[in-house]
A and B are shown apart, each in its own frame.
Chain A
Amino acid sequence: MRIFKIMRLNWFSVVILVVVMVFIFIAFDFTPRARVVPLVVAIPTFLLTFASLTGEVLSDAVKRKGRNTKQIDGNSGKTDRLKMGQSQEELEAEPAFGRQQRRKLLAAFSPIAMLVLMGLFGLIGGGMIYVAAYYYINGESRFITFVTPLLLGIMMYVLFVHFLRIDLWTGLFF
């Protein structure tokens, strides 16, 4: 990651570049007819990604050149920010903001917990437990915490199990 910072590279564009390169290299193992379209698509995509990456690095270099580095470094301290007009209350509220951010991050990664629950208790059971647990941790009222997963379970049963005849009871991992 440090190299990306030093080079000012967009790591995601680099990943795309590598993926496209893999597509190109593998294509050479195919029969001549089978490799036509992969190469026709992959080579221009590779060139475009390379151009995009170069453009990003160059535009960042131009921006950095025009920026006053002293100004950026000088504004990071607490005293400087107080001088800039940020109130003491705002600065003290920062840990709470950090907690909120952490909560959002946890929420975003919660689908992993959902998959584990679905693996253990089946898609309907696991899904219901996940929704109830999420609401409980999020401080929702008891009514919402119990009724919403129940309604969701009924809806999934009627639609998928009853009408579409899909087995959602068994766990994903078994």
Chain B
Amino acid sequence: MLVLLLPFVVTLDTVPAIALILGAHAVVVTGDTITAVLFNIPGTSQSVATCFDGFPLSQQGRAAEAVAAGLTASMFGGVTGALFLLAAIPLFRPLALTLGSAEYFVLILFGITMIALLGGKSFLKGLISGGLGLLFSLIGFDVVTGSFRYTFGSKSLYSGLDLVPVVIGLFAIAQMVFLLMDGGSIVKIQGKLEGFRGIARGIKSAVLHFRVWLRGSIIGATLGMVPGIGGTVANILAYGAQVSADADRSKYGTGKIEGVIAPESANNAKEGGALIPTLAFGIPGSAGMAVLMSVLVLKGIVPGPNMVTDNLHITISFVLVLVAANILAAALAMLITPLLEKITTLSIHRLAPVIFVICTVGAYSVNGRLTDVWLAMGFGLLGFFMKKYHYSPAAFIVGLLLGGRLERALHVSLRAWGPLFIFQRPAALALLVLVIALSLWPYYKEVGLVKKIRMNKAGNRR
């Protein structure tokens, strides 16, 4: 959708043109906090982890507080990311070259394991969901081998599954069907809405949880530097790091404000980091960065080392635009939050038909294809049963999103270092050990718990 702004950019000078594109791109992840918290529907895949604690907070009647905390954290994250960009200018090259394809491969596995661990009731089912997402990402044309896979002869599957209809189906449609079966409204605890008081409390929470958003921002900005990693992994890893760092882990997933602050700061901070490879080497890490780079080229600026010499003023303008856009977007979104909070008290029978229509039109509008509407409906059904049987739609989406990149990283690593590539890359090996440790952690915990219960029982008998 960022492409729609390109015609307006042609007539503008370099800095205003950058301000328009970067300003619009950087704050998409600020706005998506609202739907993630209010309806459990991530506005983009970069706010998947925000839903885990954001939606339970809405159900408790604390929607305004959660949205305000998320928006404030987004603002802090965005500003920290911009400062990170400023600080990293002299370190552009060594930082971006630290991670190779082998580390990248393990990092994706790490992201899926984290979301499986944190995103649902069953870790095993979370992993299965991630695996299924990876398998579905293989549908379509394989750029590595030049062959079609799992298309069953259907031309509409040649380009693979489009993410938008899948996200709409798995989250929005499935969530609405679930709420319809449940009845009532999103808010499960009846009481007076908090309005601006809730917003004030949310801002206060975000300010007080200084360490939470700072940690999230650092994770986001660091991961943003790796081309292709994107905000999805940053959002998930920041949430995971927050859960690991907190002594009281049991309350995550039931409505803990830190569970909103950490991922939201990360996905905004990632933009500052993502600008580093774009500006330093001309390697755009995402579609948005590719559009931004095309604007630079359109204005006669070639990304590279000259961005810190001749064009330093443009690099500085990137930093300032990031800061201004994040502050403005958070302030504007907060102004409409009390109004949006009221939506959570509406009967689901008033809300659902409108959301169904918007979702269908949204799915259709991506490519103007009927197939995408059916795809959204099909994945809506899949999402409903996944939720019902404790599988993780979030892990599925992450698998689907990162599957293509995982495959490319695996092929490059196999070619460069052979089948035992992990053992030749110490950083990748360390990350893999972490993935295995994380995978075994729930079972280790369970065994410990069983031992404790048995010991208690034995003690009682005596």
Interface on A for B, CB 8 Å cutoff? 10, 12-13, 16, 19-20, 23, 26-27, 30-31, 33-34, 36-38, 40-42, 44-45, 48-49, 51-52, 55, 100, 104-105, 107-108, 110-111, 114-115, 118, 123-124, 127, 130-131, 134-135, 138, 140, 144, 148, 152, 156, 160, 163-164, 166-168, 172-173
Contact yes or no, A104 B180, CB < 8 A = yes
Contact yes or no, A37 B410, CB < 8 A = yes
Contact yes or no, B361 A160, CB < 8 A = yes
Other-chain residue from A27, A131, A156, A168 in contact with B353 (beta carbon distance below 8 A): A131
- Tell me the complex Cα distance, A116–B170, Å: 21
* B28 → A minimal CB distance (Å): 16
Other-chain residue from B124, B135, B365, B368 in contact with A38 (beta carbon distance below 8 A): B135
Contact yes or no, B368 A172, CB < 8 A = no
* A3 → B minimal CB distance (Å): 18
Question: Residue-by-residue, is B138-149 near A (CB-CB < 8 Å gives 1, otherwise 0)?
Answer: 100010110101
Give every chain B residue within 8 A of A127 (Cβ-Cβ).
357, 360-361
- Tell me the complex Cα distance, A55–B125, Å: 11
Interface on B for A, CB 8 Å cutoff? 4, 122, 124-125, 127-128, 131-132, 134-135, 138, 142, 144-145, 147, 149-150, 173, 177, 180-181, 183, 349-350, 352-354, 356-358, 360-361, 364-365, 368, 370, 373, 377, 380, 385-386, 388-389, 391, 403, 406-407, 410-411, 414
Give every chain A residue within 8 A of B350 (Cβ-Cβ).
135, 138, 140, 144, 148
What is the chain A residue whose CB lies nearest that of B177? Answer: A108
Contact yes or no, B180 A48, CB < 8 A = no
Q: Assuming A34-B142, A166-B365, what are 12 further A-B pairs, CB within 8 angstroms?
A: A16-B132, A30-B149, A34-B147, A37-B138, A37-B406, A45-B131, A52-B128, A111-B177, A114-B353, A134-B353, A156-B361, A168-B364
- Tell me the complex Cα distance, A52–B208, Å: 42
Question: With A111-B377, A152-B354 in contact, is A30–B361 under 8 Å at CB?
Answer: no
Other-chain residue from A37, A114, A144 in contact with B360 (beta carbon distance below 8 A): A114
A-B contact count (CB 8 A): 141
| Residue among A16, A49, A130 facing the most chain B CB atoms (10 A cut-off) | A16
Contact yes or no, B145 A31, CB < 8 A = yes
Contact yes or no, A167 B368, CB < 8 A = yes
Give every chain A residue within 8 A of B385 (Cβ-Cβ).
12
Other-chain residue from A33, A118, A163 in contact with B145 (beta carbon distance below 8 A): A33
- Tell me the complex Cα distance, A159–B143, Å: 35
Other-chain residue from A52, A131, A167 in contact with B357 (beta carbon distance below 8 A): A131
Contact yes or no, B389 A10, CB < 8 A = yes
Contact yes or no, A49 B183, CB < 8 A = no
Contact yes or no, A23 B135, CB < 8 A = yes
* B169 → A minimal CB distance (Å): 11
Contact yes or no, A107 B373, CB < 8 A = no
Give every chain B residue within 8 A of A124 (Cβ-Cβ).
361
* Chief secondary structure at chain B's binding surface: helix
Give every chain B residue within 8 A of A20 (Cβ-Cβ).
131-132, 135
Q: Can you give 15 contacting A-B residue pairs, CB < 8 Å?
A: A16-B128, A20-B131, A27-B149, A40-B410, A100-B183, A104-B180, A104-B183, A110-B356, A111-B173, A111-B380, A115-B377, A123-B364, A134-B353, A156-B361, A163-B4
* A45 → B minimal CB distance (Å): 3
- Tell me the complex Cα distance, A13–B391, Å: 9
Give every chain B residue within 8 A of A140 (Cβ-Cβ).
350
- Tell me the complex Cα distance, A168–B180, Å: 27
Contact yes or no, B131 A44, CB < 8 A = yes
* A169 → B minimal CB distance (Å): 12
Contact yes or no, A114 B142, CB < 8 A = no
- Tell me the complex Cα distance, A133–B389, Å: 32
Contact yes or no, A111 B138, CB < 8 A = no
- Tell me the complex Cα distance, A104–B179, Å: 9
* B112 → A minimal CB distance (Å): 10
Contact yes or no, A45 B373, CB < 8 A = no
What is the chain A residue whose CB lies nearest that of B122? Answer: A52
| Among all A-B residue pairs, the 6 with the closest Cβ atoms | A45-B131, A127-B357, A34-B145, A134-B353, A12-B389, A37-B407
Question: With A13-B389, A40-B410, A115-B373 in contact, is A31–B131 under 8 Å at CB?
Answer: no
Give every chain A residue within 8 A of B377 (Cβ-Cβ).
111, 115
What is the chain A residue whose CB lies nearest that of B352? Answer: A107
Contact yes or no, B353 A110, CB < 8 A = yes
Question: With A41-B131, A123-B360, A152-B357 in contact, is A30–B365 under 8 Å at CB?
Answer: no
Give every chain A residue within 8 A of B173 (Cβ-Cβ).
111
Give every chain A residue within 8 A of B368 (Cβ-Cβ).
166-167
What is the chain A residue whose CB lies nearest that of B367? Answer: A166
* B155 → A minimal CB distance (Å): 18
- Tell me the complex Cα distance, A111–B363, Å: 14
Contact yes or no, A48 B127, CB < 8 A = yes
- Tell me the complex Cα distance, A23–B132, Å: 10
Give every chain B residue within 8 A of A13 (Cβ-Cβ).
389
- Tell me the complex Cα distance, A49–B132, Å: 10
* B348 → A minimal CB distance (Å): 9
- Tell me the complex Cα distance, A109–B391, Å: 22
Give every chain A residue within 8 A of B352 (Cβ-Cβ).
107
* A170 → B minimal CB distance (Å): 10
| Residue among B128, B352, B358, B365 facing the most chain A CB atoms (10 A cut-off) | B128
